[in-house]
Amino acid sequence: MLERERIIEIVAAVSAVLIMLSTMYWIGITYSDGNGSGLEAEGGELLVGAIIGFVVLMTIVGVALAYTLNDPEDGLESGDGETDVENKNAI
């Protein structure tokens, strides 16, 4: 069985990809040139904007997941600013 955190990560990633695919589909349907051979110039610009927006969206989702799923019990944070690796090497 998958852990809760892994399921949250999968749902967030799949949701973002579905948003991207639906946006690309909408751009393709709305800005096609009529005979099915390609996009109009405005559609191409919107497609580039959608790709840039997807990169920004995935960055925001990644940062949000990092802060949301970070448990203090994992040992990733310590109160005095030292990492666990530094503490182990000191011994």
Q: Are 58 and 14 in contact (CB under 8 A)?
A: no
Per the prediction, the chain carries an average pLDDT of 82
Pairwise CA distance, residues 43 & 26, whole Å: 10
Q: What are phi and psi of 39, to 5 degrees?
A: -100, 155
Residue 84 has pLDDT above 90, yes or no: no
Instruction: Tell which residue, 68, 23, 73, 81, has the closest CA to residue 47.
Output: 23
- What is the helix (H) or strand (E) element at residue 7, kind and residue range? helix 4-30
Residue range 24-50, pLDDT digits in tens: 999 988 888 777 778 888 989 999 999
Instruction: Name the pLDDT band for 69 (thresholds 50, 70, 90).
Output: confident
Pairwise CA distance, residues 8 & 75, whole Å: 21
For residue 32, the SS3 value is strand
Range 13-26 burial, b when 16+ CB lie within 10 A, else e: eeebeeebeebeee
The percent of residues in the chain predicted with pLDDT above 70, rounded, is 76
Tell me the domain boundaries of the chain: 4-69
